[in-house]
């Protein structure tokens, strides 16, 4: 088989519409060659390129359509269960109003009434708060809380009030969303921290303060802790992989000494503890019991 004629260079770098290529003089026969993928009807992309289905569908979205639900969460960089899957799953596309839904392979179509459409990274997408509300029908309680924590905290993309206003009075998932909304907190810096906080509260402990700057009695900064109970000087630190280096270990030791001499009890947790938190609970019980004896 003969080698395909080269395409215009800028078409090789992205997904492109068939009509665009034809306008550039590319013959239809060239667009049928095996070195091109057909991610969706009317669109081509190089087999060796990195164009995704979202990239392809963005070329055929109407003005009344946007990426929504878990696809919008991906675009905004929000934590979701799909972060841990090799296959990203179907693409969610919402149509605003009564026009025809998008019916294409690999697409889950939705109809919405709101106009909470914004442009992010060049893509029409649900607003951050609307994305969270849309995901309420697809996620469990903890995943929804983790996404909300990220939105109102680290990402600063929405406020708790924004999330509340995005909820519809009725609809699938609204009861779960309201429960999750009540559990969302500003200050959690990772889904792992969110999960640990929820575990701690469900185990019957007082709710901790999050990511607090701790000072000694003279106002000297001791460090920032992931979770703490300032009234009883108990702190919980989540130790990730960055704590394993020698320099990090030395820094942590100096920091721990500063907390200890100022009367703080610091409990350390790892990813393994997050999966099986009973050990952390026992350490917390011992710490609170010790404080009760003082």
Which residues, in sequence order, are CB contacts of 284 under 8 Å at separation 6+? 200, 203, 205, 234, 236, 267
> Are 169 and 175 contacting, i.e. CB atoms less than 8 angstroms apart?
no
- DSSP β-bridge partners for residue 229: 234
Q: Which helix (H) or strand (E) holds 91?
A: strand 91-96
What percent of the chain clears pLDDT 70, i.e. is strictly above it?
92
- Sheet of 209-215: strands edge to edge? 209-215, 221-229, 234-238, 265-269
pLDDT tens-digit profile of 161-186? 999 999 988 778 899 999 999 999 99
Determine, yes or no, domain membership for 43. yes
245 — pLDDT class (breaks 50, 70, 90):
very low
242 — pLDDT class (breaks 50, 70, 90):
very low
Residue 293: CA atoms inside 13 Å, Cβ hemisphere, count? 6
CATH number at residue 254: 3.40.960.10
Average pLDDT value for residue range 271-277: 86
pLDDT tens-digit profile of 3-46? 677 888 888 789 999 999 999 999 999 999 988 999 999 999 98
Are 135 and 199 in the same domain?
A: no
Q: d(Cα 159, Cα 77) in Å, to the nearest integer?
A: 17
At residue 2, the pLDDT reads: 62
Domain final position from 129, 159, 183 = 183
Determine, yes or no, domain membership for 113. no
Q: Which of 72, 47, 5 is nearest to 15 (CA)?
A: 47
250 — pLDDT class (breaks 50, 70, 90):
low
82 — pLDDT class (breaks 50, 70, 90):
low
Q: Is the pLDDT of residue 277 over 60?
A: yes
Average pLDDT value for residue range 59-71: 98
Best mean pLDDT range from 57-66, 75-84, 87-96, 246-255: 57-66
At residue 88, the pLDDT reads: 63
Q: d(Cα 64, Cα 46) in Å, to the nearest integer?
A: 28
Q: Which residue has the tokens 């609307």?
A: 130
Q: Is the pLDDT of residue 287 over 80?
A: yes
Determine, yes or no, domain membership for 100. no
Determine, yes or no, domain membership for 173. yes
Q: Which residue has the tokens 């007082």?
A: 206
- Tokens for 36, please give them: 């091109």
Which domain does 35 fall in, by range?
Answer: 9-56
DSSP state of 103: -
- Tokens for 76, please give them: 């905004």
Q: What's the number of domains the chain is made of?
A: 3
Determine, yes or no, domain membership for 103. no
In angstroms, what CA-CA distances link 100 with 113, 228, 259?
A: 14, 52, 62
Q: Look at strands 43-46 and 16-17 and give their pairing.
A: antiparallel
pLDDT tens-digit profile of 196-218? 999 999 999 999 999 999 999 99
- Tokens for 196, please give them: 């640990």
Domain final position from 150, 165, 183 = 183
Instruction: Give CB contacts under 8 A, 24+ apart, made by 26-31.
Output: 30/4, 30/5
Are 210 and 246 in the same domain?
A: yes
């Amino acid at each position: 088989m003969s080698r395909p004629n080269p395409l215009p260079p800028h078409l090789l770098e992205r997904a492109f519409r068939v009509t665009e290529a034809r306008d550039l003089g590319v013959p239809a026969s060239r667009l049928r060659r095996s070195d091109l993928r057909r991610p969706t009807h009317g669109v081509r992309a190089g087999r060796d390129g990195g164009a995704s289905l979202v990239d392809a569908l963005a070329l055929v979205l109407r003005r009344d359509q946007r990426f929504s639900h878990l696809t919008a969460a991906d675009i905004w960089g929000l934590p979701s269960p799909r972060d841990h899957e090799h296959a990203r799953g179907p693409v969610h596309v919402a149509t605003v109003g009564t026009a025809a839904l998008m019916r294409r392979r690999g697409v889950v179509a939705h109809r919405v009434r709101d106009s909470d459409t914004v442009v992010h990274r060049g893509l029409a997408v649900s607003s951050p708060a609307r994305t969270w509300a849309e995901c309420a029908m697809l996620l469990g309680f903890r995943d929804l809380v983790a996404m909300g924590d990220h939105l109102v905290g680290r990402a600063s993309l929405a406020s708790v009030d924004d999330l509340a206003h995005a909820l519809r009075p009725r609809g699938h998932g609204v009861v779960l969303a309201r429960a999750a909304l009540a559990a969302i907190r500003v200050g959690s810096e990772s889904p792992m921290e969110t999960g640990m906080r929820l575990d701690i509260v469900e185990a019957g402990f007082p709710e901790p303060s999050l990511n607090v700057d701790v000072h000694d009695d003279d106002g000297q900064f001791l460090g920032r802790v992931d979770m703490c109970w300032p009234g009883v000087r108990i702190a919980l630190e989540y130790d990730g992989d960055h704590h394993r280096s020698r320099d990090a270990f030395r820094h942590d030791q100096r920091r721990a000494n500063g907390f200890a001499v100022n009367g703080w009890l610091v409990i350390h947790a790892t990813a393994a503890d997050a999966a099986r938190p009973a050990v952390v609970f026992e350490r917390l019980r011992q710490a609170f019991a010790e404080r009760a004896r003082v």
